[in-house]
Amino acid sequence: MNHLLRKIWHVPEHAHTPESVYQNRKSHRREFLKLMGYGLGIAGFADLLSGCEQATQEEIEQAGAVEPLPEALQSVYPAKRNEAFKYGRPETAEIEAEEFTNFYEFTGPTSKEAWKYVGKFQTTPWAVSIEGDCAKPRTFDLDDLYREMQFEERAYRHRCVETWAMCVPWTGFPLASLLKLVEPKPSAKYVAFETFNKPQEAPYMEKSGPGTWPWPYTEGLTIQEAMNELAFIATGLYGKPLLKQNGAPIRLVVPWKYGFKSGKSIVKIKLTAEQPATFWNTVNPGEYGFVANVNPDQPHPRWSQRTEWMLGTEKRYDTKIYNGYGEYVGGLYTG
C-alpha cells in the first residue's frame, strides 16, 4: 500500500504541462482521496493510483471528441456570453473540467477519468424526445435544436455533492424555452430526464449488467425548477461542442443543485404528474432527496458540505445555500 500511495504523489515531469497546472492536477487526486477517506477500498481507485501519467489537454480532447457539426451549424460556437451571470471566482482551467468528470456509465464509482473510456460512445445521430403531459410532444434531432434554439454562453458555478466545484462556461439555451415548444399541460408537475442506454458503448454499464445499477441514469425536477431561468440545456463547454465525457451531445445544467441532478447525454424528457424515480434515489434512498439543493447545513451521511474545493487548485470556499444562486431560486423553496 505504501508503494501505491507513493505513486499517487509522484508526478513525472511532463513536457507540455506548465508546472502550475501540473501541481494543481496532482491536488485534485489528493483532495478526492481525502474525501473518500479511502472508504471504498484504495485498490478500487484504479486510475487515481495508476502511475499518475499526466495526459495533455490535446490527448484528453481527442479521446472525447465528437463528430464535427455540419458546417452550417458550426457558427453557433462560440456563442455570445450572457453577461447577467458571473462566476465571482476564477474560471476553472479547461483541462480540469475535461479530465476530472463523473460519468458512471463509463467508469462506475472508482475513476474520474471517463475520457479514457468514451471511445466507443456514438453521439451522432442523436435525438431527444419530449413527451408526457404536453400538448405538442415532439422528437428533436440535434439539427432541429441547433436550428431552432437561441444559443448563448453562461458562466456558471458547478458544485458536486462530493464537494468538488468548478466555474465553467456552458453553451446552450434555457430549458424553459425548449419546454415551451411542447406546451406543457397544467397536469405536468414534474420533468423527468432519461439519459442514454447503450451498454455496448459504455464499458461500466456493460460490465455491471442488469440488476446492479438502475440504468439508464435518470433525474428529475419540479416543473417550477425546470421553468426557472437558471435551468439550462448545454450542448457546449468552453466555446465548443461538449466532449463525450462532459455529456455530449446534450445535457442539463442546474447550478443551484448538486451536480448529480444535471443528467448527461439526455435522450428523453418527460412531463409527468407524479414525482419520477431517479437513479440516485433508487440506489441510496437514505441520502439526498429529490430536491437536493446545494446546502451547507445539510451534511452528507459521510462528510460535511460546509466547504468546497475548486478543481485543479488548493483553493477552498465556504459552501453557499443554493450554490449562491438564492436570488434566482430562493423563492421556489419558501415553506
Q: Which is nearer to ligand MTE, 115 or 173 (CB)?
A: 115
Q: Minimum CB separation from ligand MTE for residue 69, in Å?
A: 20
Distance CA 54, CA 33 (A): 17
Residue 69 or 248: the one with the smaller Cβ distance to ligand MTE is: 248
CB nearer ligand MTE, residue 60 or residue 160: 160
Among 323, 290, 289, 282, residue whose Cα is nearest residue 305: 323
Catalogue the E-assigned strands of 226-280.
232-237, 240-241, 251-253, 266-272
- Whose Cβ is closer to ligand MTE: residue 5's or residue 283's? 283
In the complex, minimum distance from the CB of residue 247 to ligand MTE, in angstroms, rounded to a whole number? 6
Minimal CB distance to ligand MTE: which residue?
A: 259
Q: What CA–CA distances, in Å, run from 55 to 84, 167, 193?
A: 35, 22, 33
Backbone phi and psi for residue 155, each to the nearest 5 degrees, phi listed first:
-90, 105
Instruction: Give residues in contact with ligand MTE (CB under 6 A).
Output: 97, 101-105, 160, 195, 217, 246-247, 259-260, 262-265
Give the side-chain half-sphere CA count within 13 A for 188: 25
Judge contact between 240 and 76, C-beta under 8 A.
no
Helices (H), 15-149: 19-36, 46-49, 57-64, 94-99, 104-107, 142-148
Nearer to ligand MTE, 103 or 146 (CB): 103
Q: How far is the CB of 331 from ligand MTE (least distance, A)?
A: 25
Q: Shortest Cβ distance from residue 233 to ligand MTE (Å)?
A: 13
Provide, rounded to whole angstroms, the least separation between the CB of residue 12 and ligand MTE.
Answer: 25
Q: How far is the CB of 103 from ligand MTE (least distance, A)?
A: 5
Nearest to 230 by CA among 164, 267, 177, 161: 177
Q: Nearer Cβ to ligand MTE, position 30 or 198?
A: 198
Q: Which residue lies nearer to ligand MTE by CB, 54 or 163?
A: 163
Nearer to ligand MTE, 17 or 257 (CB): 257
C-beta of 219: minimal distance to ligand MTE in Å?
7
CA distances from 170 to 162, 174, 180 (A): 21, 11, 21
Smallest separation (angstroms) from ligand MTE to the CB of 136: 26
Dihedral over Cα of 109, 115, 117, 122: its sign: positive
Burial of 331 (0-12, 13-18, 19+ CB in 10 A): exposed
Let me know: does 153 contact 170? Beta carbons within 8 Å: yes
